[in-house]
Amino acid sequence: MTAWSLQAFDSLDSTSEEVRRRAEAGAPEGLAVLARRQTAGRGRRGRSWDSPEGNLFLSLLLRPRVTPAEAARLSFLVAVAVTEALDLAAPALRGQVTCKWPNDVLVAGAKIAGILLESRTAPDGGLDWVIVGIGVNLAHFPPDTPYAATALSAHGVAVLPEDFAGWLLARLGYWLGRWRSEGFAPVREAWLARAQGIGREVVVRLPDSELRGRFAALDESGALLLELPDGSRQAVTAGDVFPAA
Ligand code: BTN
C-alpha cells in the first residue's frame, strides 16, 4: 500500500506543476498535492483544464521501477480507482460510471473526470518520476466542451474535494499494490469491466487524421484495437474516441 503524504493548498497554478517542482527537488514517491482551485490547470494535449473551487484537483508523485511503456498503463489503473471512488461517493450512480479509452471517466455517458500522466526519463532510460494529475467535476462542469460533460452535483450529489480525495487515495493505494505484485492483467480486467464502447463503431481522432472502425479490444499494452472496414486490426496508442455517427 502506498503511504500518501497529502498537502493541501487554497490555490496553485497547477497541482501537477507543484508536484513537478517538488519531484525535481527530490521529493519521495507518495507526495499527493490537493488544491481548492488552480489558476493554470492543464489537460491532455496542451489543453487547459477549468479549475473552479468545488471540484477535485489532485496530483501524485510516483517513482515506479518500470519502463516508460509500462508506466503509461497507469492511466487505466487511475481510471479504475476514480470509478471506484465515485461508487463510494455516489452509491446511487453505481452502474452509470464507466471508463472511456484512454483515460476518461464518464457518468451516464458524460465526462466527469480527466487524468493527465506526465513523466521524466532518467539518462539511463529508466523513469525518474511520473506525475498523475486527476481532475474530477464534483460541483461544476465546463459548459462548452466538444463532448458531453457532467458533475456529481448535476446528479444531486454533494461531495467535498477533501472527502473525495480520501476515497480516491485509498483506491489508488489498493490498485498500485496489485499492479506492483500482479502486473497489468487485473487492472486491464477491471478497466474492461467498466469500458464504454467496446464492440461498437467508433471514430478515433488523431492529431491530424481520423480513423473509423469497431473498438474490438484493449491489448496487453493498453492500446485500443480498432477493426478497420477491411477486417484488419490496428493498434491505436493515442487519440480521442467518439461514437461513430
Ligand atoms: C484531461 O485533459 O482530460 C486531463 C485533465 C487533468 C486535470 C488535472 S486537475 C489536477 C491536475 N493538475 C493539472 O493542472 N491538471 C491535472
pLDDT bracket for residue 146 (50, 70, 90): confident
Residue 152 phi, psi dihedral angles, 5° rounding? -60, -35
Distance 178 CA to ligand 1 centre (A): 24
Average pLDDT over the chain, rounded to whole?
Answer: 94
Residue 189 and residue 207 share a domain? no
Residue 159 and residue 219 share a domain? no
Taking the CA of residue 135 as reference, the ligand 1 atom at the shortest distance is 9
pTM for this entry: 0.93
185-210: per-residue pLDDT in tens? 999 999 999 998 889 999 998 878 89
Q: Show the cell assigned to 228.
A: 478497420
Indicate which CATH number applies to the domain containing 67. 3.30.930.10
**Ligand 1 site, residue 14, Cβ cutoff 6 A:** yes
**31-38 and 5-12: which strand pairing?**
parallel
Taking the CA of residue 111 as reference, the ligand 1 atom at the shortest distance is 3
Residue 120 and residue 37 share a domain? yes
Distance 232 CA to ligand 1 centre (A): 35
Residue 177 and residue 161 share a domain? yes
**Ligand 1 site, residue 15, Cβ cutoff 6 A:** yes
* 3-class DSSP assignment, residue 141: coil
Name the domain count of the chain: 2
240-243: strand order across its sheet: 233-236, 224-227, 209-218, 201-206, 240-243
65-115: per-residue pLDDT in tens? 999 889 999 999 999 999 999 999 999 999 999 999 988 999 999 999 999
Distance from C-alpha of 160 to C-alpha of 36, rounded to nearest angstrom: 10
Which residue's CA is the nearest one to ligand 1's atom 14? 41
- Residue 28 is classified by DSSP as P
* Residue 1 pLDDT exceeds 70: no
